[in-house]
């Protein structure tokens, strides 16, 4: 393990151990009396936004960070950037302790937030880029070269000379990405980078991020509500729920840990009735000869053997339930059971 705050080459770029953050939140009942009470005797309670989270990320990995609203994704991301001081636990990013916010650390990271923008509203993106170039100490020639390079990858050109307020959301996001990447960071924190974009613009941003990762070997930690972002970019996901990390692993394993069932699709030679499938698992759908069953993972092989023995099966397919449905149901429930 390396010395904290010392920028040496490491095989782990992000290291988080037992990270926790507790916020004090004021309680206020609605109405005038509630307001008065709130003013004179303010009551607060502690909210554990992030609780004992541990994980490591290797250089060049693209990791998806999933969770419902308020699950603690953004808080964790902000602790990794050094914006928020952790209440407990340890964080190292690129060999630095983020909350010290040393210049050498800040030059290696970037944060893109789909809901906030750093570009100057009234001016063309190029003006904001010139400010960033000066702040990061990038020479004029070098800045121009990098802007051209990134603009080409992002497929923007003359938008860079139009006032930001006149750009579409998709164009603006691309310019935001350009501004966030001008200093060639090696660690990218992306908080909902495709938020509000139409399907085409989302796909373009995704393509760009994959390309950037491939070309520069940058490490990417990405949160998104669009499963398509995650499935397209990340082979590994972290799932956080009520401040706790409940899954860290491959996207495919996520299905296993989220759902104890697998989906069995059958196509039969003859039509069947629902009663025929009692004892095989949960019948999801039955449409004449097409059957969809949810079968518990542990009994899968036994059940499939019995199905093949007892029915005249034309076709059989075993799948994980679609990942976005699983995650969707998780977010709706607000809690994994």
Partner 1 sequence: MGRYLLSLQRFWATALAGQLEYQANMLIDLLAMVGSLAGSIFVLSLFFGQGRELGGWSWEAALVVQGIYTFLDGVSSTWLRPNLSAIVTHVREGTLDFVLLKPIDSQFWVSLRIMAPAGLPEMGLGLVLIVWAASRAGASFSLGTLLVAVLMLCVGGVILYALWFVIAATSIWFVKTWNATEVLRAVLASGRFPVSAYPPTLRLVFTLVLPVAFLTTVPAEVILGRAAMQMLVLGLFLAVIFFVGSRAFWLFALRYYTSASS
| Cβ-based nearer residue to partner 1, 84 or 154 | 84
Sequence-distant (≥ 6) Cβ neighbours of residue 216 within 8 angstroms: 184, 186
Question: What is the phi-psi region of residue 4: left when phi exceeds 0, alpha when psi lies from -120 to 50, beta otherwise?
Answer: beta
Annotate each residue in 144-173 with x if it binds partner 1 (CB under 8 A) or - if it does not, as one string: -------------------x----------
Nearest approach in angstroms of CB 217 to partner 1 is 21
**Whether the Cβ atoms of residue 24 and residue 44 lie closer than 8 Å to each other:** yes
Buried b or exposed e, range 91-115, using 16+ CB within 10 angstroms: bbbbbbbbeeeeeebbbbbbbbbbe
Q: Binding segment for partner 1 among 77-85, 145-153, 252-260, 315-323 (CB under 8 A)?
A: 77-85
CB of 302 vs partner 1, minimal distance in Å: 48
Decide: is 23 part of the binding site for partner 1 (CB under 8 A). yes
User: CA 83 from chain center: how many Å?
Assistant: 18
Rounded Cα distance between 224 and 66, Å, is 7
Q: Is 110 in the site for partner 1 (CB under 8 A)?
A: yes
Residues in the interface with partner 1 (CB under 8 A) total 39
Residue 170 CB, nearest distance to partner 1 (Å)?
A: 19
CA-to-CA distance for 229 and 135, rounded, in angstroms?
31
CA 262 to chain centre: 25
Show the binding pattern over residues 280-299: x = contacts partner 1 (CB under 8 A), - = does not.
--------------------
56 or 130: whose CB is closer to partner 1?
130
List 240's β-bridge partners, or say none.
Answer: 245
Among 17, 46, 122, 155, binds partner 1 (CB under 8 A): 122
DSSP codes joined into one string, 57-90 = E-TT-EEEEE--TTSSHHHHHHHHHTSS--SEEE
The nearest distance, CB 178 to partner 1, in angstroms, is: 14
Does the footprint of partner 1 cover residue 111 (CB under 8 A)? yes
Residues in the chain: 337
Each residue 226-265 as x (binds partner 1 by CB under 8 A) or -, in order, gives ----------------------------------------
> Using CB under 8 A, which of 6, 36, 88, 135 touches partner 1?
135
With CA atoms as reference, report the closest residue to 285 among 310, 305, 267, 301.
Answer: 267
Contact 259, 269 (CB under 8 A): no
Question: Coil, strand or helix: which one is 334?
Answer: coil
Can you tell me which of 89, 136, 300, 331 binds partner 1, judged by CB under 8 A?
136
Among the candidate windows 29-37, 39-47, 110-118, 257-265, which touches partner 1 by CB under 8 A? 110-118
Q: At closest approach, how far in Å is the CB of 104 from partner 1?
A: 8
Asked whether position 83 contacts partner 1 by CB under 8 A, the answer is yes
Across the chain, the runs of DSSP E, i.e. the strands, are: 14-27, 43-57, 62-66, 88-93, 109-113, 187-191, 219-223, 236-241, 244-250, 261-268, 282-287, 290-296, 313-319
Half-sphere exposure of 97 (CA within 13 A, CB side): 10
Q: What is the smallest separation between the CB atom of 260 and partner 1, expressed in angstroms?
A: 33
Task: Find the binder of partner 1 among 31, 115, 274, 288 (CB under 8 A).
Answer: 115
- 109 makes contact with partner 1 (CB under 8 A): yes
Residue 107 binding partner 1, by CB under 8 A: yes
Q: What is the contact surface with partner 1 in residues (CB under 8 A)?
A: 23, 74, 78, 81-85, 101, 103-104, 106-107, 109-111, 113-118, 120-123, 127-128, 130-137, 163, 191-192
């Amino acid at each position: 393990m390396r010395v904290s705050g010392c920028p040496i080459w490491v095989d782990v770029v992000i290291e988080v151990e037992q990270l926790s953050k507790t916020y004090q939140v004021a309680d206020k009942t609605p109405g005038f009396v509630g307001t008065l009470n709130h003013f004179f005797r303010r009551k607060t309670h502690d909210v554990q936004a992030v609780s004992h989270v541990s994980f490591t990320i290797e250089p060049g990995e693209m990791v998806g960070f999933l969770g419902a609203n308020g699950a603690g994704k953004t808080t964790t991301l902000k602790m990794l950037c050094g914006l928020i001081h952790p209440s407990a636990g340890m964080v190292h990013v690129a060999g630095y302790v983020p909350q010290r916010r040393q210049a050498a650390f800040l030059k290696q990271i970037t944060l893109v937030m789909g809901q906030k923008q750093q570009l100057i509203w009234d001016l063309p993106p190029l003006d904001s880029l010139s400010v960033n170039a000066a702040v990061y100490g990038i020479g004029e020639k070098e800045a121009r070269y990098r802007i051209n390079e990134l603009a080409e990858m992002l497929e923007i050109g003359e938008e860079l000379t139009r006032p930001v307020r006149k750009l579409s959301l998709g164009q603006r996001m691309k310019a935001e990405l350009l501004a966030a990447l001008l200093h060639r960071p090696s660690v990218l924190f992306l908080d909902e980078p495709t938020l509000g974009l139409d399907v085409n613009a989302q796909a373009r941003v995704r393509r760009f991020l994959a390309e950037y990762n491939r070309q520069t070997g940058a490490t990417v930690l990405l949160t998104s509500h669009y499963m398509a972002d995650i499935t397209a970019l990340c082979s590994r996901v972290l799932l956080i729920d009520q401040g706790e990390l409940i899954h860290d692993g491959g996207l495919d394993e996520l299905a296993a840990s989220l759902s104890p069932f697998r989906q069995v699709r059958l196509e039969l030679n003859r039509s069947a009735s629902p009663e025929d499938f009692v004892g095989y698992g949960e019948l999801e759908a039955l449409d004449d000869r097409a059957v969809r069953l949810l079968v518990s993972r542990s009994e899968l092989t036994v059940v499939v053997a019995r199905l093949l023995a007892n029915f005249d099966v034309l076709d059989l397919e075993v799948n994980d339930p679609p990942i976005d449905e699983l995650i969707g149901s998780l977010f709706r429930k607000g809690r994994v059971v």
